[in-house]
Copies of this chain bind each other. A is one copy, B any other.
């Protein structure tokens, strides 16, 4: 069974934006044994959109259209699919009423143009959108003598993901072929891609039924394993066996054995050990705190911290002596350690983190170049501080530095 994903929106035909939703959808489709044969991006243009819809419906079993379901005049997906199939659109008055209610609950008046979101393709099932106003649609029909499935879904990722998992996946599981898939995702911190692959490749090559993909991001290498077998249990057992071998080889550089993010792992370990964390950040400017607090329930183990961008604040909030700043500079091993140790004591935390560095693009010197970062972790008995030089732009340096900090907390908790 093959699918085509059509991403709709003129912004994705500019040099500035890309469709990324299709990556999520591809993963989910592969899970139920459906391959993606085509991906198309088309603008908010009725003629083009109709052409794209007709072409897709003609050549694949499942056509997924994302976007163009909103209330504006640019939102043409419903109309285009109706034109491609030569069928009617009918306004669903119950849906209109619901939409009015939704606005009323928020004490807002519904703008008139919202009603077009309730135009439904003849024969289609309406898919409720729990995260937004635009409903989706699901249509099964014959086209040129062949059975076809068509999904119209909203473009905003959080709306799309929820609707996909709630409404589309159960329908596809019923239709999809019987071959079973199972996966595992291992994540490795602070190692290069080729260094990881050099050790991992001899192992994963022994498993021809498992597709292994190596992906690198800032300070993180991911190993995606996808096993195929007769039953889901067999596939999972295979994937688990390879994952186990890889973990043995890579040791504690593997921070995640089921795809969790580094911040989730740190939050989890902290809660397990009933320990509290506090942070004092300079160059990362709140990124370490932001990443930790992105995890639901992190308030149970994260107390908070300080963003001490200026030297005065380093002294005011983290008790860094002005003399230390003068003697060693704000970007130094000594200040990183003092930030970690002081914030721990001040906040009455179990573990403290200190980060100081030069994120760039300005502010670098011969002695202290852009990308130089000191990260320290302290638990009162033991301190650890590392000096690193990260390459790339401001965002990249900050991201690597926050990754280094979280990974050091993880190792201290192990």
Instruction: Mark A residues whose CB is within 8 Å of B.
Output: 9-16, 18, 20, 23-24, 26-27, 30, 35-45, 48, 51-52, 55, 59, 70-74, 106, 111, 113-114, 131, 156, 158, 193-195, 197-198, 201, 211, 213-216, 224, 278-279, 281, 284-290, 292-294, 296-299, 302-310, 312-313, 316-317, 346-348, 359-363, 389, 391-396, 398
Q: Determine if B316 and A346 form an interchain contact, defined as CB atoms under 8 angstroms apart.
A: yes
**Residues on B with beta carbons closer than 8 Å to the beta carbon of A15:** 23-24, 26-27, 30, 224
Which of B37, B41, B290 touches A13 (beta carbons < 8 Å)? B37
Q: Determine if A294 and B14 form an interchain contact, defined as CB atoms under 8 angstroms apart.
A: no
Which chain B residue shows the least CB distance to A200? B72
Which of B35, B156, B158, B293 touches A309 (beta carbons < 8 Å)? B293
Knowing A224-B11, A317-B317, the reply to whether A293 touches B285 (Cβ < 8 A) is: yes
Give the Cβ gap from A76 to chain B, nearest Cβ, in Å. Answer: 13
Knowing A15-B24, A158-B396, the reply to whether A194 touches B111 (Cβ < 8 A) is: yes
State how many copies of this chain the complex holds: 2
Knowing A215-B16, A289-B285, A313-B347, the reply to whether A201 touches B36 (Cβ < 8 A) is: no
Which chain B residue shows the least CB distance to A226? B14
| C-alpha gap A285/B13 in the complex (Å) | 35
Knowing A39-B40, A44-B213, the reply to whether A293 touches B303 (Cβ < 8 A) is: no
Closest 8 CB pairs of A and B: A285-B293, A286-B286, A286-B289, A15-B27, A286-B290, A304-B309, A39-B41, A304-B313
Give the Cβ gap from A190 to chain B, nearest Cβ, in Å. Answer: 13
Ordered by A's residue number, 19 sampled pairs between the chains whose C-beta atoms are within 8 Å are: A10-B213, A11-B224, A13-B26, A13-B38, A14-B213, A15-B27, A40-B41, A71-B194, A72-B214, A106-B389, A111-B194, A114-B194, A158-B396, A285-B298, A293-B398, A296-B394, A297-B362, A298-B309, A304-B310
| C-alpha gap A346/B55 in the complex (Å) | 64
**Residues on B with beta carbons closer than 8 Å to the beta carbon of A213:** 9-11, 14, 16, 44, 74
| C-alpha gap A296/B394 in the complex (Å) | 7
Taking A71-B193, A305-B313 as given, write out 15 further A-B residue pairs in contact, using a Cβ cutoff of 8 Å, ordered by the A residue number: A9-B213, A11-B215, A12-B39, A13-B35, A51-B55, A72-B193, A72-B197, A74-B213, A284-B290, A285-B292, A289-B289, A293-B309, A299-B309, A304-B317, A306-B317
**Residues on B with beta carbons closer than 8 Å to the beta carbon of A131:** 391-392
Q: Determine if A306 and B306 form an interchain contact, defined as CB atoms under 8 angstroms apart.
A: yes
Q: Determine if A195 and B294 form an interchain contact, defined as CB atoms under 8 angstroms apart.
A: no
Knowing A30-B15, A37-B13, the reply to whether A285 touches B296 (Cβ < 8 A) is: no
Which chain B residue shows the least CB distance to A204? B73
Which of B40, B211, B393 touches A10 (beta carbons < 8 Å)? B211
Give the Cβ gap from A14 to chain B, nearest Cβ, in Å. Answer: 6
